[in-house]
Amino acid sequence: METRVCRLYGQNDIRIETDSVAAPGPGEALVAISAGGICGSDLHYFQDGGFGPIRVREPIILGHEASGVIVDVGPGVTGLAAGDRVAINPSRPCGSCAYCEEGLPIHCLRMRFNGSAMRLPHEQGLFRDRIVVDAAQCVPVGGDVTMAEAACSEPLAVCLHARSRAGDLSGKRVLVTGAGPIGVLCAAVAAEAGAAEVVVTDLQDIPLKAAAAMGATRTINVAREDAEMEAYAADKGYFHTAFECSAAAPAVRTAITSVRPRGTIVQVGVTGDLPVPINLLVSKEIRYQGTQRFHAEFADAVAMISERRIDLKPMISASVPLDAAADAFAMAGNRAEAIKVHLTFAG
């Protein structure tokens, strides 16, 4: 059986090609992909050939945010059947390394993650019409949600894990710096957790509008309203918790100055080295918490989407056919116009 794939050969060199796909083996499922979200890492691979030390060193099929429909299952698979709508978990920890045995599969030493250039050979991704995956990667989607919404399960899982690192948000004042897809979802999950206030900052109006529709109680365009943040820094800070989603030095400083003593900053955005005002972290006894990926939160994200506990529609900017992948990547890279752009597939 043949399938189209979205393969990146290098910086700005993306091609739609044809590969073959086999029947599912034991413990596997054949999935017809319906929607695939273009993530920031996909954009970095496309625009820059990688990010930080992670570089594209061989052709790679992109994509780790996807939903689809089960076509067939292999021997021994239970709980899945042809016609089931599923979200695909791209994370595959080994289950046997030291961290997996400690109950920390997020830090698996042999992690396989669809669409990642971290290892060589690269882990191939989900942007294709049909793919065989481990059946355990398929989480059934319920309700009447669209496949584009279901494809947002992966970034939502990232934010649910970030929320778990923040502690109880009920009744708390929360700041979110950076309103990309992860930022607006952090705002949504903070609101869903009962935060009293959720203030979101960004440099663009389009993502801030989406943040307001997804749970933010206030949005601030810091490109023209930066002075509005000064009041939040008074008296050693205002917010109990901040989700720093931009990985930009000014935003990191804003989070540190705006969080109150013994508050928590969850660093969600990723970059290289940044200057950090250590004196403020120390003097205010701020907890500066890292977060990455997810584990059990993927199934939680699918359930949350299926039950429509949050509204994802404001963040979905466009759905573009696979044949126009280059146009989709250009659109996704324009933060003034788009938040989350999906590719659609023949499946």
Instruction: Encode pLDDT of 68-92 as tens digits.
Output: 999 999 999 999 999 999 999 999 9
Instruction: Encode pLDDT of 123-173 as tens digits.
Output: 999 999 999 999 999 999 999 999 999 999 999 999 999 999 999 999 999
- The single-letter code of the amino acid at 319 is S
Domain 156-290 annotated CATH 1.10.150.120: no
* Contact criterion met (CB below 8 Å) for 279 and 256: no
Angstrom CA distances, 268 to 83, 149, 306, stand at 36, 22, 25
Q: Per-residue pLDDT for 212 more than 70?
A: yes
**pTM, entire model:** 0.96
pLDDT for position 347: 63
Domain residue ranges of the chain, discontinuous segments joined by + = 2-152+312-344, 156-290
Alpha-carbon gap, residue 300 to 312, rounded angstroms: 15
Task: Return mean pLDDT, the chain.
Answer: 96
What average pLDDT does range 226-241 have in this prediction? 97
What average pLDDT does range 200-214 have in this prediction? 97
Just give the CATH number of 2-152+312-344: 3.90.180.10
* Contact criterion met (CB below 8 Å) for 162 and 141: no
pLDDT for position 1: 84
3-class DSSP state for residue 324?
helix
List the structure tokens of 272. 């290289």
What average pLDDT does range 192-206 have in this prediction? 98
Query: What percentage of the chain carries pLDDT values higher than 90?
Result: 95
pLDDT for position 51: 82
pLDDT band at residue 279 using 50, 70 and 90 as cut-offs: very high
